[in-house]
Amino acid sequence: MGMSEPVRELPADGPAQPLASAVGDARHGVVTHLTVGGQRVAAIVPESLIEALRAAEDAEDAAEADAAFDEPGEDIQRDQRKEELGF
């Protein structure tokens, strides 16, 4: 699921709001933005969107780690490191 999900807004600063409806909408891929004074303050989103964002973040972290391993660095002898650490 990408960023082209249906979207709606739900004022959160009024009387009792139809939360169950927004949750039901999320089950069908609809993002509901909660608003206060007309300003978006939060969102109820489908879990699949959260999972996709987490997977993308994990992939980015893995790519950064791979790049770090590929960077050249200074070789330090084991005995030198042990001496520096007091072992």
In angstroms, the CA 14 to CA 32 distance is 16
- Per-domain residue ranges for the chain? 7-69
User: Which region holds residue 64: left if phi is over 0, alpha if psi is between -120 and 50, else beta?
Assistant: alpha
For residues 62, 67, 73 and 76, what is the CA-based torsion angle, rounded to 10 degrees? 20
Tell me which amino acid residue 30 is.
Answer: V
pLDDT of residue 16: 61
Mean pLDDT estimate for the chain: 83
Residue scoring higher pLDDT (40 or 9): 40
With a threshold of 0.85, does the pTM exceed it? no
Q: What's the number of CA atoms in the CB half-sphere (13 Å) around residue 33?
A: 12
